[in-house]
Structure formats: C-alpha cells, structure tokens
C-alpha cells in the first residue's frame, strides 16, 4: 500500500473506491482505456465478498440471452440495458479466460470457474490490474468524497486526502458487512447530492408468524413447490428446495421468493405444496389407498411415506390430529384436511432476516440520478457509480455479479473517456 505524500500532492486521473467485482472491473477497463487509475480498498485484500460467492465456487455470471437476463432483474432492469448489452456474460468469460481463469456452464446456465475456486476470479483481476498498471492501495478506507475545483478530494480514514479528476464509487451494499460492504458509498452519494432509496435485504430468509417451523429447524424439503399470491396475482411459483430455520424459512426457494416480495408483506399469501407432482384429487386417492392398506396402524406410519419422518408429528397437529391417531378412526373431513395441507400449507410472512444476512441489498443510489449510458452522476460530473451501491438487484444465478461487472465496465470506460477527453 502506498498512499504517501507523493500521491496526495498529485491530481490523479481516476480513483476507484472499492476492490470488489465492480471496482476491479472498473479499474481494469479504465486502465485499458488509457486512464491512470488508483484503486482504494479498505480491506487487507481484494474481492473479499467474491471469495464467499457461490459457496466458494463463484457463480460468476449466467449464460442466458439479454431478454432472459432482464427477467431476472425485478427492479430497475431498464437502467441496466446499456451496461448489460455493452458488457455481456460472454465478455465476462472471455475476459476471465484472457486473464487465465477458464469457466464452465452448469445447470440453469450458471457459469463457474473450471477450478471451482472463487479465489481464481479475484486472482485473475488482480493479475490483470497489475499488468495494466493500476495502482492498488489496500488497507485504505475512504471517509469522504468532496467536489473541488477540477475534480474530487477523497479523504482517507487514516488521515490525508487524495485528489482526482474523476471517482468511481464501487463500495457495494450493506449485506455481509464483514466482507467490507458497510454502506459507506451511500454516505458518499448523499454528500454529493444523491438520493438513496430505502435499503433492505433481498435474497434472504423470511420470518414467519407460524411457530411450528422452528420445531423443524434444520430440516430441508426437496422437490416441493412454494407459491406466493397477492390478491389474485401470482407473484411467485417455483419448484425446488426449502429449509426450516429458527426464525422461519430459508433455502433456495425462499431466498428467491424474498426478491419477489413487495414492501407490504401482509398483502402476500405464501403456500407450500409438498406434493407438486399430484393434483388435489390424486393426493386424496393416494391417501385413500394408503389408509386402506394401513387400517390398523397409526397416522404416523402413513405420514412417513409422504414426508420426512421428523415432520410427521408436527404436520399431524397442523391437521388437528395426533400422530398416534388410528387410521381407521380418521374421518373423511380429517382426511380432506390432510390432503389440503399437503397441497397448500399456509406460511404467513412477517418480514425478512436482517440485511446483514442478505445475499444482496435492495435499494441504493437512485438510478434516475445516474446516466445509464455512462454510469456518471447527473448531479456531480466526474462521479461514477458501479455495482451493488446502485439501486439494482437481481435473482440468484450469477445475475448480481454480472450487474457488478457490466456496470463496472461501463463506469470504468466512461470515466477513462471523461478524464482523457481534453
Ligand atoms: C454469501 C453470498 C454469496 C453470493 N453469491 C453470488 C453468486 O454466486 N453469484 C452472483 O452473481 N452474486 C452472488 N452474490 C452477490 C454478489 O457477491 C454481489 O452482488 C457483488 O459482489 C457486488 O459487487 P460490488 O463490487 O458492487 O460490491 P462488493 O463485492 O461488496 O465490493 C465492495 C468493496 O468496496 C470496499 N469498500 C467499501 N467501503 C469502502 C471504503 N469506504 N473505502 C474503501 N473501500 C471500501 C469493500 O471492502 C469491498 O471490497 C453473493 C453474495 C453473498 C453475500
């Protein structure tokens, strides 16, 4: 790290704040476009969040076409149009290949490094930036970004300030703050006149009113369907896996559902279908058959054929029955209640888990105040934004990193054009 007096006295071309996916991409592209770039990262190493992405394997992008990409962006997708089209998933994978990290495509078009190591992605960028002459300053936290004559003064938390013609803010959001994303960029944006929209977690577990999921903490259900309805409108309907937790529900289906939830949770009815392959009539026929074959047994012996053994007793109680209830004493109405709950067990969502546990931040720098064709602030010329600090987020599948890479590339190239234009 070198942020000594030499740097402080000179006016730099471009300072990139944040050495995550967006910042590293911005720095690299700006340097390739001819700018002299200094990247400031407060951590002791680059890309701390990248290390934990995709469970350490880094789902680096998604190899779908642009139309499908935008379907995975629930908010402000239009704002990303230029960025994503000018730097596509193919651009991400060819850039990584050029920097020595080959990728492979898996289920659902998810792209990972061939090595299955997220660290190879960060290493590729570090190598690229070194070769391109980017000056990387680690352990260097920025505390303020102020406009001044001819550019910006970037104050450092450790004292002193650097000066640059242009600045890219790529400080990430508020999720997983231990990786360095503690929301500093929102303060920098506000200091420069920007609006920051309300910040909450997306792609996160949901808290629910019912108490019974806590009894099943740690149990995951595979091949189930979770759907959500808002009035007559279906807002989510997917098959997959979910998990019961100490706070409510989580797992892939629920995490995905969280990004579809409106601000008012009370307007949404969520339901769990444990037999998605069967119609309600088929479920009832199956129950009739099982009951006929097990007349002298207890309900628990049939439930064990329909769900994980741990869930049986809890489920029986939800149907108003005891797991010890003899099958031959179960009434038609009670059988109907079992069938109903197998197909549509209600879950009343009360909220999301804290933003710190979320995969991404929902909300951020108001995109109407940023030029979508350049990522430059409409309020403070020379100030650029990239990545999660912006009010954009997407579903799981590599889309959030693609957003970071696309906005990073556009911000970097535009910033280079801005500083080298005269
Ligand atoms: C557990 C987990 C798994 C994920 N898996 C995937 C996945 O597989 N695929 C996918 O597409 N997305 C995934 N995501 C989301 C994705 O990681 C983020 O959307 C993406 O990393 C955002 O990149 P960014 O560069 O905008 O922000 P960040 O990666 O958060 O980088 C911001 C950087 O700025 C630095 N910084 C912050 N403030 C300052 C300051 N004041 N001074 C200097 N430096 C500062 C931080 O230290 C940090 O290094 C995952 C997220 C999590 C939490």
CA distances from 419 to 15, 28, 130, 296, 355 (A): 11, 15, 20, 83, 36
Going from N- to C-terminal start, the domains of the chain cover: 5-200+360-420, 205-352
The phi, psi pair for 44, rounded to 5°, reads -80, -10
CATH number 3.40.50.720 is the correct assignment for the domain at 5-200+360-420: no
Q: Does the predicted TM-score (pTM) go above 0.85? A: yes
Burial of 328 (C-beta count, 10 Å sphere; 0-12/13-18/19+)? exposed
Beta strand 37-40 with 11-17 is parallel
Task: Give me the pLDDT at residue 233, please.
Answer: 93
User: In the numeric block, which tokens belong to residue 244?
Assistant: 């019961």
**What is the Å distance from ligand 1's center to 318 Cα?**
41
Q: Which atom of ligand 1 is the closest one to the Cα of 387? A: 26
Three-class secondary structure of residue 58 per DSSP: coil
The phi, psi pair for 208, rounded to 5°, reads -135, 160
**What is the Å distance from ligand 1's center to 417 Cα?**
26
Q: Which atom of ligand 1 is the closest one to the Cα of 23? A: 25
Ligand 1: residues with CB < 6 A are 17-23, 40-43, 48-49, 52-54, 58-59, 141-142, 170-172, 175-176, 179-181, 184, 359-360, 387-388, 398-401, 404
Q: Which atom of ligand 1 is the closest one to the Cα of 59? A: 8
**What is the Å distance from ligand 1's center to 404 Cα?**
8
**What is the Å distance from ligand 1's center to 296 Cα?**
58
Residue with the smallest CA separation from ligand 1 atom 47 is 180
Q: Which atom of ligand 1 is the closest one to the Cα of 173? A: 30
For 233-262, the pLDDT digits (tens) are 999 999 999 999 999 999 999 999 999 888
**What is the Å distance from ligand 1's center to 408 Cα?**
12
Task: Give me the pLDDT at residue 152, please.
Answer: 97
**What is the Å distance from ligand 1's center to 118 Cα?**
13
**What is the Å distance from ligand 1's center to 184 Cα?**
13
**What is the Å distance from ligand 1's center to 18 Cα?**
9
The secondary structure of residue 174, as a DSSP letter, is S
Q: Which atom of ligand 1 is the closest one to the Cα of 141? A: 42
DSSP for 214-271, please give it: HHTTT-EEEEEEEEEEETTEEEEEEEEEEEE-SSEEESHHHHHHHTT--S-GGGEEEE
Task: Give me the pLDDT at residue 209, please.
Answer: 94
**What is the Å distance from ligand 1's center to 21 Cα?**
6
Q: Which atom of ligand 1 is the closest one to the Cα of 176? A: 53
Cβ–Cβ under 8 Å, residues 135 and 38: yes
The phi, psi pair for 378, rounded to 5°, reads -85, -10
Task: Choose the residue to mutate in 59, 400, 410 for probing ligand 1, maximizing ligand atoms within 8 Å of C-beta.
Answer: 400
Of the candidates 197, 206, 182, 217, which has an alpha carbon nearest to the alpha carbon of residue 259?
Answer: 206
Q: For residues 7 and 169, what is the distance between their CA atoms, to the nearest angstrom?
A: 19
For 7-20, the pLDDT digits (tens) are 666 889 999 999 99
Q: Which atom of ligand 1 is the closest one to the Cα of 399? A: 11
Task: Give me the pLDDT at residue 1, please.
Answer: 44
**What is the Å distance from ligand 1's center to 23 Cα?**
10
User: In the numeric block, which tokens belong to residue 59?
Assistant: 């789902």
Low-confidence ranges of the chain (pLDDT < 70): 1-9, 422
CA dihedral 39, 201, 143, 38 (to 10 degrees): 10
Q: Which atom of ligand 1 is the closest one to the Cα of 21? A: 25
Cβ–Cβ under 8 Å, residues 319 and 331: no
Task: Give me the pLDDT at residue 11, please.
Answer: 87
């Amino acid at each position: 790290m070198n942020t000594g007096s030499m740097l402080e006295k000179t006016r730099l071309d471009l300072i990139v704040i944040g050495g995550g996916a967006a910042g590293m991409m911005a720095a690299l592209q700006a340097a390739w476009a001819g700018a002299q770039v200094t990247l400031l990262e407060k951590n002791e190493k680059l890309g701390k969040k990248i290390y934990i992405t995709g469970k350490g394997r880094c789902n680096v992008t998604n190899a779908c076409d642009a139309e499908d990409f935008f379907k995975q962006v629930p908010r402000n997708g239009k704002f990303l149009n230029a960025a994503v089209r000018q730097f596509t998933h193919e651009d991400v994978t060819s850039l990584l290949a050029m920097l020595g990290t080959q990728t492979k495509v898996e289920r659902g078009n998810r792209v990972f490094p061939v090595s299955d190591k997220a660290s190879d992605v960060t290493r590729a960028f570090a190598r690229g930036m070194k070769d391109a002459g980017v000056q990387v300053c680690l352990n260097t936290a920025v505390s303020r970004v102020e406009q001044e004559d001819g550019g910006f003064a970037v104050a450092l938390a450790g004292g002193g300030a650097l000066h640059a013609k242009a600045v890219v803010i790529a400080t990430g959001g508020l999720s997983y703050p231990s990786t360095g994303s503690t929301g500093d960029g929102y303060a920098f944006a506000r200091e420069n006149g920007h609006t920051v929209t309300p910040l909450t977690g997306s792609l996160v577990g949901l808290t629910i009113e019912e108490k019974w999921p806590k009894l099943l903490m740690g149990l995951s259900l595979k091949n189930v369907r979770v759907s959500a309805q808002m009035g007559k409108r279906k807002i989510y309907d997917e098959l997959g896996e979910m998990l019961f937790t100490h706070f409510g529900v989580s797992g892939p289906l629920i995490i995905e559902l969280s990004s579809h939830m409106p601000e008012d949770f009370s307007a949404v009815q969520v339901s769990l279908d444990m037999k998605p392959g069967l119609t309600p009539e088929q479920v009832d026929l199956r129950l009739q058959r099982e009951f006929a074959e097990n007349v002298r047994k207890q309900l628990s012996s049939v439930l064990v054929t329909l769900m994980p053994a741990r869930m049986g007793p809890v489920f029986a109680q939800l149907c108003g029955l005891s797991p010890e209830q003899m099958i031959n004493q179960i009434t038609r109405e009670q059988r109907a209640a079992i069938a109903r709950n197998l197909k549509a067990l209600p879950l009343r969502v009360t909220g999301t888990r804290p933003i710190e546990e979320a995969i991404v931040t929902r909300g951020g720098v108001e995109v109407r105040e940023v030029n979508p064709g350049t990522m430059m602030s409409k309020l403070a010329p020379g100030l650029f934004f990239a990545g999660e600090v912006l009010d954009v987020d997407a579903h799981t599948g590599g889309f959030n990193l693609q957003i970071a890479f696309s906005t990073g590339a556009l911000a970097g190239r535009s910033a280079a054009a801005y500083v080298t234009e005269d």
